[in-house]
Amino acid sequence: MTLTALINPAVLILEDGTKFTGKAIGKIGTTTGEICFNTGMTGYQEVFTDPSYFGQMLLATNDHIGNYGVKNDEIESDSIKISGLICKNYASYHSRAQANSSLNDYFIQGNLVGISDVDTRQIVKHIRSKGAMNCIISSEITDEAELKRLLSLVPSMEGLELSSKVTTSNSYFYGNPDATYRVAVLDLGVKKNILRCFEERDVYMQVFPGDTSFETMMAWNPDGFFISNGPGDPGAMDYAVKTVQEILAADKKMFGICLGNQIMAEAVGMKTFKMHNGHRGLNHPVKNLITGRSEITSQNHGFAVNADSPGRENIEITHINLNDNTIEGIRIKGKQAFAVQFHPESSPGPHDSRYLFDDFVKMLSA
């Protein structure tokens, strides 16, 4: 493969055959995944490194991407997690003095293939109507029939287990060993800022691989358990559901975010479903049914908990999405366990929901 100088042509083909042509960005090559769009106007580096995006082709709706380059400490994991980027205007130069490199250099180093100079508004309107689907980007293959053949081999996100691709290989510690509280983190694709938010609240963590047993985590004698965000279909994660069921059976204190919310619901008998498009952005309105207040939230999920599924009697719905009334938060009845579908740790993004970390720490101290 050769590296792009931002002059190479590239093509984007959707699963339904719709084709767009533009310019290559990042590394010259071919990449595939499920197309999704994020409406955030800032924070692209945090989005690109969010493990929950593993296997997905990100369509940025903000007109300009790359203007402020990249900074080494503005990451949510140690590598780029998106499969590809689709954007309108791509900045090959950046203006922020604090930046460590340009976005294009960052993409080349991370082997990220993308396409710019396409009508992102048209693409968003198309997939909002047709729904989530796979796509392929290539800046090296010109044979459309070959691209469609490669695209046909890409598995559907529905039924796909991906957390094992992004979880830590070995457990590790995070925070101050002399902190007041100890929390075992089940890493299904945890974001770094979640760990930072716990650390700021006097919590010491041991982060465990996603397939770690309840017994192994309990051997550390934690005060509580955290079930993280992550990619893929929660319905394909029996191993994580089993672990959460065992945590609930032992009546341990537990908090979950995003995928953790779905896994917790599955653990009490509820089902999840693949959404038409999902929620991804920094401005999703959520109502807290306990306080009656509305919150602006950061979100990134393509699956949701089915409110009408069996097991509904085992939960209390605590938050709902004000756009489509989907479940955004739950409490497990009779247990010290709660979870939300959105991201209270969002950075950049709204901080309306940071209180959830405080609520969990109060639970640990009780």
Catalytic residue ranges: 258, 343, 345
DSSP H stretches of helix in 210-346: 214-218, 238-249, 259-267
Tokens of 138: 């290539």
Q: If phi over 0 gives left and psi between -120 and 50 gives alpha, with beta otherwise, what is residue 34?
A: beta
**Count of C-beta atoms within a 10 Å radius of residue 19:** 11
**Count of C-beta atoms within a 10 Å radius of residue 307:** 15
Cβ(231)–Cβ(135) under 8 Å?
no
Bond from prior residue into 348 cis (ω within 30 degrees of 0): yes
3-state secondary structure of 361: helix
Tell me the C-alpha distance between 300 and 280, whole Å: 4
Tell me the C-alpha distance between 22 and 90, whole Å: 11
Q: Which of 312, 302, 343 is nearest to 159 (CA)?
A: 302
DSSP H stretches of helix in 139-200: 144-152, 163-166, 192-199
Pairing relationship of beta strands 254-257 and 30-38 according to DSSP bridges? unpaired
Tell me the C-alpha distance between 237 and 303, whole Å: 13
